[in-house]
Structure 1
Amino acid sequence: MAGRRGRQRVIGQRLEIRQGQGLVITPQLQQAIKLLQLSNQELDEYVEAELEKNPLLQREEPESAPEPARELAADAAELSFADAEVSDRATTVDAREDDVYGDATPGERTSDRLSDEAASQPGLSDWSAAGKGGSFNDGDGGERPERHDPTLWEHLQAQASSAGFSAADHAVALALIDGVDDGGYLRGELEELADRLGCGLERIEAVLAVCHGFEPTGVMARSVPECLKLQLIERNRFDPAMAALLDNLDLLARRDLGALRKACSVDVDDLSEMISELKALTPRPGAGFAGEIAQTVIPDVHVRPDPAGGWKVELNSDTLPRLLVDKRYHASVSAGARTEAEKTFVADCAAQANWLVKSLDQRAKTILKVGSEIVRQQDAFLAFGVEFLRPLNLKTVADAIGMHESTVSRVTSNKYVSTPRGVFELKFFFTAAIQATDGGASHSAEAVRHRIRSMIDHEGRDGDVLSDDRIVEILKEAGIDIARRTVAKYREALRIPSSVERRRMLKAG
């Protein structure tokens, strides 16, 4: 019995102090990261909600812009690449401030620093924990984006991204999609688009021919007859009689069936059947996507030619929400606060207001800094057209401006730049690279695809059909290191048949 008692463990309480490292991300950091990747429309909605909740915030009036706002306008002023390149010294923002947006994962020094700031500001942590700070999470730390049905523009964008276009053709496709109205018809002249993008009309027409295969069938047609023609082709019902019927829709509208039968060279029964088939088609293929009002794309950054040479980059001031902290009202309500709850509420509002103003200022500077570097990297595209897109990735831009890759990724999401060649999303300028055999400059993957297509397009003229192996040899002779399976993948993405099928087609004329 005594032996058992000697082996029994004693249960008690004791106090220990341990030191260790942990991964912590504050609600303020979560909001700062989310704030950077919001589009200008989403940001405006968020700021409007903050104005309703926080009595210390107010919009800046253009007539009475205070000194801090003038400083922000100066920071967001034009940058000229004719004088100097963007560098770490091109902005007055402390590198530690960039880390607020640069750290995609918790636990970096930014989290610790913001935690210290939150601890030094009365009620700041309580504010966010209580949900009064407009947190973007639902309490479990996970972001839950709202779901919505895709618009016609988004639907076409997704198909263009998976169509295997080269970078140049993808730019043309995006420009064409921008000209589609709510009914699904393409508006605008192709010649004007070709002149604006700096490419030939043949390229525009070739890309449009691929886009005519997008869903819904008939979309991006330039007229009602063309829209109906695309749908008839899909149903394998387009023949000379149907072509004549589409060319004489005015006779059908006047119900001049006699003249219509003569124009189509068919009898009464055939004409009746053709009209029934025509009625089964959809004259407005985009009508099914009319549930959501299409929003006009407002650029966040403007790029203009510099008379002295190079390009000027400036923020779109119309998309920048300008907020101020009402210090007079803050002093008034602080003096009138009596209970601890009132004092805590005022302190929370002041801390949240100061943080939001500072974050908006940092967001504007970061967008300008990233956009400026992208323009510097892709200046050849702006000067000469889509054929001169350079290989570019997030790391190249991030290293050039001294930021984290995740920061560049967030900045380029849902941000648009207005250039002399049109409005493009910032992510458009990032293209893959293929290494050179001689160790020289890398080649853009889109440029390689374009070269493969050009070689195959000239097969009929040269009287020879190039196999994938032969294309690899030609590309390696040109200094492009590429594998045969990569050539096959690019060829299939471009919807080009194999060499065997092309040889059969060539023999068949």
Structure 2
Amino acid sequence: MALGPRLELRQSQSLVMTPQLQQAIKLLQLSSLELTAYVEAQLEQNPLLEREGSGEADGRTTADGEELASVPDGDPVAVDEAVGGASLDVAEASLDFEMPDNVFDDDRATAGGLSHDSSIGSREKGGSADDGDVNLENRLAQRPTLKDHLWGQVVLDIDDPVDRLIAAHLIDLLDDAGYLTGEPDSIADLLGCTEEQVANVLATLQRFDPPGIFARSLAECLRLQLHDRGRLDRTMACLLDHLDLVGRREWGALCRLCEIDGETLNRALTEIRSLNPKPALVFDYAEVQPVIPDIFVRPRPKGGWAIELNSDALPRVLVNNRYYAVVSRAVRSKAERQYISECLQSANWLVKALHQRATTILKVATEIVRRQEGFLAHGVQSLRPLVLRDIAEALGLHESTISRVTSNKFMATPRGIYELKFFFTHAVGGSNGDDAHSAAAVRHRLKALIQEESPDRILSDDALAETLQKEGIDIARRTVAKYREALGISSSVLRRREKSELR
């Protein structure tokens, strides 16, 4: 074989993820908050993009209706027609991310919604920070942290600079629950002081608020709180020395060791249960973020369900073609012309991708409602088994697309707000050839059986499995035990002890 340069012509096929397709897939899996942040970044970077309402009033917008789709009872064909017949000013976009042509036939084009009145976007309500319209009610109050709270007490109670240095180090060694993670001897070696100094400072810190702080074990934490209440007597001290027996509910052994009767034991246990085993959590100010639903589902007066996108959860942007025409006539260099062209292309694709995302979410939500109508009407016990493949086959999409659509998307129903993934549950086979049951419905029934049991008849895992099998659910004892543990329900032995105490 001769070695040397030569020219060859080859023809091959390959799957290429274009930047536009990557952008569409990325937008599909974003939550509403993440999508808003992404669009805000694009608005800052692209001069041809603008929010609806920020430009002139003669721009063309999409037609957005109140009702996006309706699900009649037992009429799958009507469901498809309702979704496909949504009024749009842009051409219908298919669900395989093939974008339509000739969308922008006016001065402006929009990333529009799928109903008549509601827009897919965060509408401009009131002023912005740039306008100086600051709503003080929307500002979070600054709350002191645990370290700030403790250091304020150190400044008041400890005067010696060396002791303050030791106290500052001990504060840094607290874990999230308020327990001290270091030992006095190692702390003394690190700081170059005596163990007695560390022990004295620690004793002072253990009297600080909140009670139980700086404990090194659960027993010491409870002991500090009882001492703060003036309730640390001989009985309490004995119970704290035998917390392992308390955890195993060995009441007889505790009565013998502490030399008390059952009534005294019950009073002492009630006192212990009122204590806080994690005192630092009172300073855990986790900001509660409200869940913003992406889809609304409402019952229709004549039956069926009305499904619509939340217009306030999706941003709405415009492409200003008139501004592009003005700027393109003023450019002089090739680099400027290329930059403006790239901005226009990027803006057009963003608009199309936002519309594609809205269409896909609506169709997936409609199919989920059609299949889980029993849950909406009757509750969790009527939840049907459902997997991603079922929705993908019904809509002609890939399972990965359904997975992206259902991630971090929420549906507001008459029974509450649920993530779309909630409606996907594995199947538990039915006994004697019956239909399969949803795993969530089986867990719900299992919880109901345990709540209904009497103290005289506590159901074991075997008994629960037998009861469910009689109800047409093919389930093994080990599966019952797994579901029970997932629900946070104790074993039959512990439940018998707990319910005997309440009698």
- After superposition, the Cα gap between the structure-2 partners of 1:68 and 1:505, relative to the gap in structure 1 and judged at 3 Å, is closer
Distance 1:18 1:384 in 2: 62
AA partner of residue 32 (structure 2): N
State the match for 2:487 in structure 1.
494
State the match for 1:337 in structure 2.
331
Contact 1:466 / 1:499 at 8 angstroms: preserved in 2?
Answer: yes
State the match for 2:265 in structure 1.
none
Which of the numbers 71, 95, 105 marks the counterpart of 1:81? 71
Unmatched tracts of structure 2, length 5 or more: 102-142, 145-175, 179-209, 232-270
State the match for 1:287 in structure 2.
283
**Offset at residue 354 of structure 1 (A):** 0.8
- After superposition, the Cα gap between the structure-2 partners of 1:504 and 1:41, relative to the gap in structure 1 and judged at 3 Å, is closer
- After superposition, the Cα gap between the structure-2 partners of 1:352 and 1:446, relative to the gap in structure 1 and judged at 3 Å, is same
Distance 1:504 1:424 in 2: 36
State the match for 2:4 in structure 1.
12
Cα offsets for 1:321-357 (capped at 9, x unmatched): 2222111121222223333222222221111111111
Which of the numbers 34, 56, 60 marks the counterpart of 1:42? 34
Distance 2:497 2:313 in 1: 56
Distance 1:387 1:279 in 2: 37
State the match for 1:396 in structure 2.
390
SS of 1:448 mapped into structure 2: helix
Distance 1:345 1:237 in 2: 65
AA partner of residue 303 (structure 2): G
The within-5 A match list for 1:334-483 is 334-457=328-451, 460=454, 463=457, 465-468=459-462, 470-483=463-476
Which of the numbers 81, 84, 88 marks the counterpart of 1:91? 84
**Offset at residue 301 of structure 1 (A):** 1.6
**Bigger CA radius of gyration:** 2
Contact 2:410 / 2:419 at 8 angstroms: preserved in 1?
Answer: yes
Contact 2:93 / 2:356 at 8 angstroms: preserved in 1?
Answer: no
Distance 2:92 2:475 in 1: 39
Distance 2:230 2:308 in 1: 50
* TM-score in terms of structure 2 length: 0.58
AA partner of residue 19 (structure 2): P
SS of 2:4 mapped into structure 1: coil
Distance 1:246 1:381 in 2: 53
Deviates more, 1:313-322 or 1:369-378: 369-378
SS of 2:41 mapped into structure 1: helix
CA RMSD of aligned residues (A): 4.4
Distance 1:437 1:449 in 2: 17
- After superposition, the Cα gap between the structure-2 partners of 1:32 and 1:228, relative to the gap in structure 1 and judged at 3 Å, is farther
SS of 2:284 mapped into structure 1: helix
**Offset at residue 98 of structure 1 (A):** 1.3
Distance 1:455 1:294 in 2: 33
State the match for 2:316 in structure 1.
322
Deviates more, 1:479-488 or 1:403-412: 479-488
**Does residue 485 of structure 1 match 2:478?**
yes
State the match for 1:154 in structure 2.
none
Unmatched tracts of structure 1, length 5 or more: 1-8, 101-109, 118-181, 184-214, 218-226, 248-273
- After superposition, the Cα gap between the structure-2 partners of 1:426 and 1:503, relative to the gap in structure 1 and judged at 3 Å, is closer
**Does residue 54 of structure 1 match 2:50?**
no
SS of 2:312 mapped into structure 1: helix
**Offset at residue 443 of structure 1 (A):** 0.6
The within-5 A match list for 1:40-439 is 40-61=32-53, 64=57, 66-70=59-63, 73-74=64-65, 77-82=67-72, 84-85=75-76, 86-87=79-80, 90-91=83-84, 97-100=94-97, 282=279, 285=281, 287-290=283-286, 293-439=287-433
Contact 1:459 / 1:466 at 8 angstroms: preserved in 2?
Answer: no
SS of 2:418 mapped into structure 1: strand
- After superposition, the Cα gap between the structure-2 partners of 1:236 and 1:383, relative to the gap in structure 1 and judged at 3 Å, is farther
Distance 2:412 2:329 in 1: 48
- After superposition, the Cα gap between the structure-2 partners of 1:389 and 1:58, relative to the gap in structure 1 and judged at 3 Å, is same
Instruction: State percent identity of aligned pairs.
Output: 49
AA partner of residue 423 (structure 1): I
Distance 1:399 1:383 in 2: 25
**Offset at residue 278 of structure 1 (A):** 7.7
**Offset at residue 11 of structure 1 (A):** 2.0
Contact 1:216 / 1:286 at 8 angstroms: preserved in 2?
Answer: no
Structure richer in helix, relative to its length: 1
**Offset at residue 466 of structure 1 (A):** 3.7
* TM-score in terms of structure 1 length: 0.57
AA partner of residue 16 (structure 1): E
Distance 1:497 1:24 in 2: 53
Higher RCO (CA < 8 A, seq sep 6+): 1
AA partner of residue 288 (structure 1): D
Contact 1:88 / 1:401 at 8 angstroms: preserved in 2?
Answer: no
Distance 1:343 1:487 in 2: 67
SS of 2:324 mapped into structure 1: helix
